[in-house]
Amino acid sequence: MIVTSSFNPKTNNIKIQNSYFVLSKDEMIRFLAKLDLELIDRSITSCLNEWIAHNRLYRLGLFKSRCKDCDLSSNEGFVRRIGYWILSRFYWR
């Protein structure tokens, strides 16, 4: 499966389609490094935490339809960022 990304200027959002196929943290970092994250004012670390959290939830079978793609938005709320951080800890791949 091909993993692609697109930017939506109306929602200020970068969507990574089929993100759940990427399992390696190194591959995620390489993919994120190619994106213009300045468009959404986010760091690679912040986006990586969100991507890992989406993958964990997808693998657990929770919110599969929403977690198969990763939507990197600007202005993520504090509680959501904390949730992503917690879910992304101890990622072993």
pLDDT at 1: 66
pLDDT at 68: 95
Confirm whether pTM is higher than 0.85: yes
What averages of pLDDT result for each successive group of 10 residues across the chain (93 residues)?
89 94 94 93 94 93 92 88 86 64
d(CA 20, CA 17): 8
Is the Cβ–Cβ distance between 59 and 68 less than 8 Å?
Answer: no
Please work out, in degrees rounded to the nearest 5, the angle formed at the alpha carbon of residue 90 by the alpha carbons of 3 and 31. Answer: 25
Is the Cβ–Cβ distance between 22 and 70 less than 8 Å?
Answer: no
d(CA 59, CA 67): 9
Q: Where are the domains of the chain?
A: 33-93
